[in-house]
A and B are shown apart, each in its own frame.
Chain A
């Protein structure tokens, strides 16, 4: 399975996502990229990210995205 860093790299290959702590402020992801990212994460991990969770704070950096994913991947 692809890693989160790989998925981000596919969406925006020109950026090094491991070097940023705020993808939005650094201009590495815009609103449309976030929509693409959510669709890719849903498909890759077999989850369905809720609309309430699609806020910039959850897509700020690798750690916040991992935290968001753990919410959906953990057994209920």
Chain B
């Protein structure tokens, strides 16, 4: 397996798989900016032939797996030949509506993947009704580069690294530079944060959390309120949440989010602990 040296290598492998494809399948929908970051930091690797390309992205103690293939047979053959899939910890995601994913799920199970968890997408398109402000609002500010390590620690303590696509430090630093992270400060501590990505009229809430010791300070609602205030041009807010996390789903319902039918089946190979 070779590291990807430039973005052209990715496009070339994908194009090869697409050429003459009888039933092109993929779970690889990278945003160019992120793709470039993975390449620059040596995190992206590729195995490919004429009809299929497998991409592996390093993340902490495991790899994310993405594929593009001319059809299911080509994908199965390429996966069966992959040493990485047999020997290393690998996670992958299948995104779509539930019914459309069943064939691919079955296929991935034949090479040793199992369902690890399931996320559902929630969206809100209604106009934002601003709630009354509280004293906590004054403690909400954009994160600075000096906050990055503490933010990463908080994210790693609070979320499942295998299931929730946690950012690398360099991705956090870029997000801070792009004013994509609001934090609630309590003294010098990061009490909570809201990390978002906005593209035109759509904004994705990536992480919203309050550290356990600060849960009675109303930082969560203050963060959400400030987020909505800063995104007044946005017409559609979306987020992903673990499908059985009823507590989180209830909170998102409160802010007008509702499931939009898209699911993310998160799969783990045999090397990932149960």
B141 lies within 8 A of chain A by Cβ = no
* CB nearest to B197 among chain A residues: A27
Q: How far is the CB of A43 from chain B (nearest CB, A)?
A: 14
Q: In the complex, how many residues of chain A place their beta carbon closer than 8 angstroms to a beta carbon of chain B?
A: 16
Q: What are 15 A-B pairs with beta-carbon distances under 8 A?
A: A12-B236, A15-B235, A27-B198, A27-B199, A27-B200, A27-B201, A27-B202, A27-B236, A30-B199, A30-B202, A32-B29, A35-B96, A50-B18, A50-B21, A52-B21
Query: Number of contact residues on B: which range applies?
Result: 10 to 19
Whether B125 and A28, one on each chain, are in contact in the complex, defined by CB atoms closer than 8 angstroms, is: no
* A52/B29 contact (C-beta < 8 A), A14-B235, A30-B202, A35-B96 known: no
CB of A51 within 8 A of CB of B200, answer no
In the bound complex, how far is the Cα of B104 from the Cα of A35, in angstroms?
A: 15
Taken together as a complex, chains A and B put the C-alpha atoms of A11 and B173 apart, in Å, by 34
Q: Scoring A residues 21 to 42 as 1 if CB is less than 8 Å from chain B, else 0, what string do you get?
A: 0000111101110010000000
A-side interface residues toward B, CB under 8 Å?
12-15, 25-28, 30-32, 35, 50-52, 54
Query: How far apart are the CA atoms of A60 and B2 in the complex, in Å?
Result: 33
Asked if B95 is an interface residue, CB under 8 A from chain A, the answer is: yes
Q: Does residue B208 face the partner (Cβ distance < 8 Å to A)?
A: no
B96 nearest CB across to chain A (Å): 7
Q: Which residues of B contact A30 (CB under 8 A)?
A: 199, 202
- For A52, give its contact among B18, B202, B203 (CB under 8 Å): B18
Given contacts A31-B29, A52-B18, 9 further A-B contacts (CB under 8 A): A13-B125, A15-B236, A25-B199, A27-B234, A27-B236, A32-B29, A35-B96, A50-B21, A54-B18
Instruction: Using CB atoms, name the residue of chain B closest to A56.
Output: B32
> Quick check: B96 and A26 within 8 Å, CB to CB?
no
Residues of chain A within 8 A of B201, CB atoms compared? 15, 26-28
B202 A28 Cβ-Cβ under 8 A: yes
Cβ < 8 Å to A, chain B residues 230-274: 234-236, 262
CB closest residue in chain B, given A34: B29
Verify if B24 is at the interface (C-beta below 8 Å from A). Answer: yes
CA gap between A35 and B26 in the complex, in Å: 11
CA distance A35 to B94 in the complex (A): 13
Pair A32/B24 contact, Cβ less than 8 Å: no
Least CB distance, A6 to chain B, in whole angstroms:
18
Residues of B within 8 A of A28 (CB): 200-202
Evaluate contact between A32 and B236: CB separation under 8 angstroms.
no
B76 contacts A by Cβ under 8 Å: no
